[in-house]
Amino acid sequence: MRVTWKALGGLTAVIVAAGGCGRRPLSPPPLDPAPMEREEYVIGVDDRLQIRVWDNEGLSLAVPVRSDGKISVPLLDDVQAEGLTPMELKEVLTREYAEYVTAPDVTVIVTDVNSRFVTIMGGVPHNTRVELTKNLRVLEAIAAAGGFSTFADRSDVRIVRRGEAGTEQEYRFDYEEYIRGNAGGTNIVLQPGDTIIVPE
């Protein structure tokens, strides 16, 4: 099935009006985040955590973040994890375990990142989600989805990014121009929740 911008509009909020009216104005490519400006990782639903309490194997375990954003740990039962950084969760567990263990030394490691992903759809072999385990760029995400399909429009790839309060920004990636060296900066670093649409 061929995917067009109009067909995709209802799924991705990319609306093509009848009568030749254009899409929402394209945003200029965002700058790459500087190494010191990258945000700390925030734990999300379906992530898997390794919690270790030094010299206390009974309190050390691997645990998934449930759909309600909580984890189940010995002695403390349910603890909120979603929305916290690993360091913040470490501080919560250290404070709570202090009632049961003398000077607990807690470590929190995110072993499986399952809550951060981008969606790729349209002119690729398989509509899919790709996990963001690093600073993934548009071409890498498309490659992870199997590359462009035979009838993909490589010159008009769109990246839809949802912001706060339901706002959206749309970026364009022209593969043909990019490989010619004429579209620098458009192979952007993706953010969780981005949708890449490859029309056909």
d(CA 104, CA 192): 34
> Mind listing the domains of the chain with CATH numbers?
5-17+115-198 (3.10.560.10), 48-112 (3.30.1950.10)
What letter does residue 130 receive in the DSSP assignment?
E
Q: Is the pLDDT of residue 1 over 90?
A: no
**What are φ and ψ of residue 185, in 5° steps?**
85, -5
Read off the pTM: 0.69
Q: What is the pLDDT of residues 47-97, one digit of tens each?
A: 999 999 999 999 999 999 999 999 999 999 999 999 999 999 999 999 999
Assigned token pair, 30: 């965002």
Over residues 162-186, mean pLDDT: 89
Q: With contact defined as beta carbons under 8 Å apart, do 49 and 62 qualify? A: yes
Judge whether 162 and 193 are in contact, CB under 8 Å: yes
- Residue pointed to by tokens 């010159």: 155
- Give the containing element (helix H, strand E) for 34: none
Nearest to 174, CA basis, from 190, 188, 154, 160: 154
Tens of pLDDT, residues 113-130: 889 999 999 999 989 999
**In the block, which residue shows the tokens 């945003």?**
27
